[in-house]
Amino acid sequence: MSEFVLPDVGEGLESAEIVEWLVAEGDSVSRDQPLVEILTDKSQTQLPSPRAGIITRLGFEEGDIAEVGQVLVEFSDGEGTAAASAAPINNSESIAPTSPASPAVPPNTPRPKAAPVVRRRAMAAGVDLRSISGTGPGGRITNADLDAALAGPVPSPAGSPIPPSRTAPTSSGPAAPSATDLGYMAPGTHKLRGIRRVTAESMARSWQIPHIHTNDEADATELLTARKWLKLSGEPGAETLTPLAFFVLAVAKALRRYPIINASIDPDAGEITVHQDVNIGFAVAAEHGLSVPVIANADQRSLFNLSTEIQRLTLVVRTRTVTAAELQGGTATITNYGSLGGRFADPIIRSPEAVIVGFGSIKPRPFVVGDSVVARPTLPVCIAADHRLLDGDIVTAFAEFVIGQLSDPAQLLDT
């Protein structure tokens, strides 16, 4: 028998949450086969098996917190035994059907991919996830897939006629929320787990930073025109060109212009670190929570290269294939809440960074041009900075530079 303990996957890891087991007790696994998906305060990643063998014990349940050095998996050599041989079945016993009933599933069907919340809902409803075809990335079963299964017809015993259905009375009130609705959580007490736990801990640390804020708007007329024509250029990344690529480029150039903002402060050590590289993180909302992948050396990339990298990083976050390296090393962050329709916000700095730049929705609004007030597409820009390191004058200059670049994309694209 051998053991596999939680390793230190880097940067002084002390513990990790067990997000999802990718194997079950009794499974035969090969070397380097993914065993478990874990969540640290830095990233969510899969741990591969260090050897081939039979899984004899899983040391933790999904949602548990394991410390470095604790046993995750126990292995043994030899062949596994079929679960069906463990005990005889008494056919004389009647078994109450669950509702809704799940179709019969072969016992050797691989364990389906699904998030812990989906597994818990399925267990409570008596649904075998192996009977559901997942529509998520890699065949992962989503809440929407489970909702569809729960809403489907309940199979009747063979040979039994299906009674005519009675039309349920309709209600003129709003429909009850489902688990796939934004912000939905079933009534009751829930454990703080997953990315929500990591976010809560991170935001608590960040809130200790004394924030300074500035809010302004850019005239986005020329930006929208430039984007329209650049999308037709045929360059790689042009077809998927979004305003976010312009935002990243403008912030990257501003950080290079004002390097003191591309910095971190360590009050305990009494040190300020000005970073050589400009690495910009951007917030990505996914089914499993919010993540911030990082674009390395953003100031050295073209607009089209930024567009391609934004699309790639967004995809790996939402398919849960993002690596720890792709979530680390940021020196500043962008949050594009305008894609959801928001206008102004007070974004929270991600410690140990010194700045976060928020962008609102681009919409026609009253705007002063010369002596007239006209309707122009405007872009709200909201900046939060670390007041321990930065004063209002430098933050305002930084904001004006970003707004100037976005108001004049010819200047922005002039490298």
Q: 392: which 2 tokens?
A: 């209002």
Residues whose CB falls within 8 Å of the CB of residue 379, separated by 6 or more in sequence, listed in order: 217, 218, 219, 220, 223, 243, 338, 359, 360, 362, 406
Backbone dihedral region of 310: left (phi > 0), alpha (psi from -120 to 50 degrees) or beta?
A: alpha
Q: 390: which 2 tokens?
A: 């930065």
Q: 99: which 2 tokens?
A: 């509702």
Residue the block writes with tokens 């078994």: 95
Beta-carbon neighbour count of residue 117 at 10 Å?
Answer: 20
Q: Give CA–CA dist 415/26, Å, rounded.
A: 59
Active-site residue flag, 387: yes
Query: Residues 91, 97, 101, 105: what is their CA dihedral angle, to the nearest 10 degrees?
Result: -20
Start-to-end C-alpha separation, the chain: 61
CA atoms lying within 13 Å on the CB side of residue 72: 32
Q: How many residues are present in the chain?
A: 415
| DSSP string for residues in 337-402 | GGGGT-----PPP-TT-SEEEEE---EEEEEEETTEEEEEEEEEEEEEEETTT--HHHHHHHHHHH
Query: Residues 199, 201, 207, 209: what is their CA dihedral angle, to the nearest 10 degrees?
Result: -110
Q: Which of 211, 213, 275, 387 is catalytic?
A: 387
CA angle 331, 398, 365 (to 5 degrees): 110
Beta partners for 347? none
Q: Give CA–CA dist 167/335, Å, rounded.
A: 47
Q: Give the single-character DSSP code of 90.
A: -
Q: 37: which 2 tokens?
A: 């998906």
Catalytic (active-site) positions: 387
